[in-house]
Amino acid sequence: MKSRQSSFGPWMVAVIVVAAAVAAGVFIWRKGLHGVEQPPAPTLVSTTAAPSTSSSVIQHPISEAAPAPASTAPLPSLEGSDATVADALTQLGGDGLAGLLLREQIIPRIVATVDALPSRGVATHILPLHTPQGAFAVNPADGRATLAQRNAERYAPYMRVVEQVDAGKAVAWYVRYYPLFQQAYRDLGYPHGYFNDRLVAAIDNMLATPQVSAPVELVRTDTYYLFADPSLQSLSAGQKLLLRMGPENAAKLKAKLREIRTALVSHSPLRG
């Protein structure tokens, strides 16, 4: 947890954008105090252990999710999909998302971020969105530090996107473009993996985030703030995101993730 900046906000929207039509989550641990340059064409490789979905057994076939709108137009190539994807996400998430989105390698960035959510951290260069503005806020008192409630305000632009996205329409778009997500996941280093299974696993991991009602105590290292409670510090990157964004934002994000998960795995999914 950075003492001046936190880059967890994009993870949240990454999850929403991929899960909701390319969702976020979200995200992160090696960002400089005054920002970080985003390379124009990063090489995205998996930094996590191979997930259980790397087997040939598919747990959540994308054919069981919401049907994509009828269209005879061919899909773009993964390498040439950025303009089409950016336009679609702007329609789904509004101008707010358009201003947050990094417009190069959008699908590979989202896939890499989602893959990393259940792990302990995410490399900054894979993020699909710009990071939250403003300084990370801490309440110092009696030699202790706690997570300030005003941190939630930094996530307001991302939460507006979360609330605007229609889960049914988003998942329908995701189903239509799923071959590109699957290709990006295989290119990431999972030749036998199935991205939709990994996405559902990432959502389930975030939904399992414990609720913390009391002020969250922090400890300071030379560069970062960490959770003082070892059980919180050992949580996944996605779960820590939910804690940092505050209980109200976390509850809203969890509700949207449940809608998305239903549309992704149900035989009677949400209809847009």
Across the chain, what does the average pLDDT equal? 76
pLDDT at 162 over 70: yes
Assign 218 to helix, strand or coil. Answer: strand
pLDDT of residue 33: 25
C-alpha torsion angle, residues 219, 236, 210, 212 (rounded to 10):
20
Per-residue tokens: 132: 């939250």
Q: Which residues contact 32 (CB under 8 A, 6 or more apart)?
A: none
45-49, 139-143, 243-247: range with lowest mean pLDDT: 45-49
Q: Which tens digits make up the pLDDT trace of 40-66?
A: 445 565 555 444 444 568 999 887 665
- Side chain identity, residue 225: Y
Residue range 241-260: average pLDDT?
Answer: 88
pLDDT at 10 over 80: no
156 or 55: which leads in pLDDT: 156
Q: Sign of the CA dihedral 226, 230, 232, 238? A: positive
pLDDT at 194 over 80: yes
Who wins on pLDDT, 216 or 64? 216
Whether pLDDT at 141 is above 60: yes
CA-to-CA separations, 102 to 134, 174, 222, in angstroms, rounded: 19, 18, 30
27-66 burial, b if ≥16 CB within 10 A, otherwise e? Answer: bbbebeeeeeeeeeebebebbbeebebbeeeeebebeebb
Report the percent of the chain where pLDDT is more than 70: 72
| Greater model confidence, 226 or 63 | 226
Q: What is the structure's pLDDT at 122?
A: 65
Provide the pLDDT for residue 199.
92
pLDDT at 233: 93
Lowest mean pLDDT among 49-63, 130-144, 196-210: 49-63
CA distance 89 to 87: 6
* pLDDT mean over 131-150: 83
Cβ neighbours of 98 (radius 10 Å): 15
Per-residue pLDDT, 180:
95
Per-residue confidence (pLDDT) for residue 6, from 0 to 100: 44
Highest mean pLDDT among 70-74, 92-96, 206-210, 211-215: 206-210
pLDDT at 209: 95
Is the pLDDT at 272 greater than 70, yes or no? no
